[in-house]
A and B are shown apart, each in its own frame.
Chain A
């Protein structure tokens, strides 16, 4: 017998007060949100969508998108982290059904002991399944396994217009392809069926190979693609056109006798002062990193966590960049255009503003899983830049020119500043995505890149 007043109170209950605690991983830009909804159950989402104003909502997971694609400035967020239940698992086929707020680390913790692993994993395990689908994330096995979206069999999608909709390659295929890589704009994912893959154990047979030029990297990458499931390279971005780096490649090991001991890493407790990261300290770090790893080169057996998630060992490492935050620049450039790639590296090296995390990977040629999927054949580069105001933005704009001219693309999940023109060039078919957007959804990113178009 709940009275009317108590019903109203109950409704208020899933809504948090205005808060500025919802930031993206790069902590730039910082925006405030008018309201945060924190539903704990899928049955509560319909009502939230129903009462929301048009273009007011955006689902939010663990906030690991770097720029503003997970933000909705001055509007509302729907925090999905309490929707984190496993709904079913088929021991025979390895298909897991889970809610969208389940994080990859939870999946690994629960299913690796049973001999199952993620089909595709990004460089952090602290992302939600919903976020992995909405950004159609890729990993070190893109050349043989494609993206995360390639392993989603079907999903349930809350839509403000037509309730809970089943989407799969057979049912509502258009909406399915729009939701994969759809930046959370097509609705709220209620659950998804993910195909896990069998592994013998938690170990990776890895190999580290130092290289001294881009062509050496390309040779290594081509030579490894057939034999290694995982390939990626770390790059010293101070080296210019002929970058030195470390090539990492590996396969799941058949070793399963030795248990893996996991330790809890340290956590950065607060923003570090911005001066700590300067071109000298970063250059010294990169040099040390190169020489340390070059000395360790050769084959080793490592735990999955240190192979896939080296950065997860320092929690909140993003605070390293200080109060102003940082920007990650991830582009892909067609392989036919290696010159453009070298030009990008050269401009970064000359600016002296690069950072530790230069990551290089050759994408495979599988067709994209989603309408707005980022991965496409070519070379992808991801580098962090501490936010130092206009001069950082200026450098990134000059990189944009090269990417644009080369026929390349930028990754929305990493972006906080690309121009509408570059977005258009990166995703020329974005207009055919627009009809799939849920009328109640919007994001800071989407408004920025589609403004006046």
Chain B
């Protein structure tokens, strides 16, 4: 920060003063804007002066979020109250983005649902609901944005999956399989969009302290969502890496977990 006088009233070391921001990350669509990790990501994007289109179910929550992000520095905040798990709404959401938020450069998919594993084992409806929310609807809406970006030859699609998707575990395989499926989808999408110059980032967080995990016994030891969000925002800014593990240690943990032979792994109860 230079110390030369600036005559504007903003003569303070405002965070928005960082002019080195790559031009890529300016207009961001957040799908599932009221999820725990998304809240932190949006705040950090707002402090960078980004423009945001927030999609989530609750109009009331979106309104609170909108005023907050504006006051924290977001240049523009649009909201769209819609249920992303209902694929019938997707076209309208996509239209709204093209009409009112044209020129968006980044789409971040941040919603997900995690039921108790036991509930999904006992109730097929719960199982299907989780698969629908975490995978089917996610793949559906990303396909719309993928076509748009592919045609434009620019942009970035990022989705929050999970380290739980790297290997099926006894205690959490339903959630894990949905996130694993989304990770595979993103992998393929990355390859498809690579020739067009569109970046596709798979974000695999470890357990994070959010409303989704509060009920878990060791929740106080989970990662701070603000730190996870910092990694995510950095990846969005740099348009990479292709696969982001956050916190970073999970990259090594999962590398080890994936190499445990199945004959042993199937006996582990975690």
Do A and B bind? Answer: yes
Contact of B71 among A5, A15, A21, A110 (CB under 8 A): A110
Contact of A256 with B9 in the complex, beta carbons under 8 Å? yes
Q: Which residues 65-88 of B sit at the A interface, judged by CB distance below 8 A?
A: 65, 67-68, 71-73
Is B64 interfacial (CB 8 A cutoff)? yes
Which of A3, A85, A110 has the most chain B CB atoms inside 10 A of its CB? A85
Contact of A113 with B212 in the complex, beta carbons under 8 Å? no
Q: Mark A1-42, 1 if CB is under 8 A from B, else 0.
A: 111011001001111110101000000000000000010111
Is A258 interfacial (CB 8 A cutoff)? yes
Contact of B3 with A260 in the complex, beta carbons under 8 Å? no
Contact of A259 with B215 in the complex, beta carbons under 8 Å? no
Q: How distant is the Cα of A41 from the Cα of B264 in the complex, in angstroms?
A: 43
B211 CB to closest chain A CB (Å) equals 5
Which of B36, B65, B215 has the most chain A CB atoms inside 10 A of its CB? B215
Closest to A87 in B: B67
Closest to B221 in A: A21
CB contact under 8 A between A202 and B129, given known A17-B216, A41-B61, A259-B1: no
Contact of A86 with B71 in the complex, beta carbons under 8 Å? yes
Q: How distant is the Cα of A113 from the Cα of B47 in the complex, in angstroms?
A: 12
Closest to A111 in B: B71
Q: How distant is the Cα of A112 from the Cα of B14 in the complex, in angstroms?
A: 9
A22 CB to closest chain B CB (Å) equals 10
Is B5 interfacial (CB 8 A cutoff)? yes
Q: How distant is the Cα of A21 from the Cα of B123 in the complex, in angstroms?
A: 35
Is A370 interfacial (CB 8 A cutoff)? no
Q: Which residues 1-29 of B sit at the A interface, judged by CB distance below 8 A?
A: 1, 3, 5-6, 9-15
Is B188 interfacial (CB 8 A cutoff)? no
Is A43 interfacial (CB 8 A cutoff)? yes
Is B60 interfacial (CB 8 A cutoff)? yes
Contact of A40 among B6, B9, B12, B39 (CB under 8 A): B39
Contact of A6 with B71 in the complex, beta carbons under 8 Å? no
Is B258 interfacial (CB 8 A cutoff)? no
B15 / chain A contacts, CB cutoff of 8 Å: 109
B41 CB to closest chain A CB (Å) equals 14
Contact of A42 with B14 in the complex, beta carbons under 8 Å? no
A376 CB to closest chain B CB (Å) equals 35
Contact of A14 among B11, B125, B211 (CB under 8 A): B211
B48 CB to closest chain A CB (Å) equals 14
A110 / chain B contacts, CB cutoff of 8 Å: 71-73
The interface of chain B, by Cβ under 8 A from chain A, is 1, 3, 5-6, 9-15, 34, 36, 39, 58, 60-61, 64-65, 67-68, 71-73, 115-116, 119, 122-123, 125-126, 129, 211-212, 214-217, 219-220
* Beyond A5-B115, A5-B119, A261-B13, 4 additional pairs, beta carbon < 8 A: A16-B220, A40-B36, A109-B15, A259-B12
The interface of chain A, by Cβ under 8 A from chain B, is 1-3, 5-6, 9, 12-17, 19, 21, 38, 40-43, 82, 85-89, 99, 109-110, 112-115, 201-202, 256-262
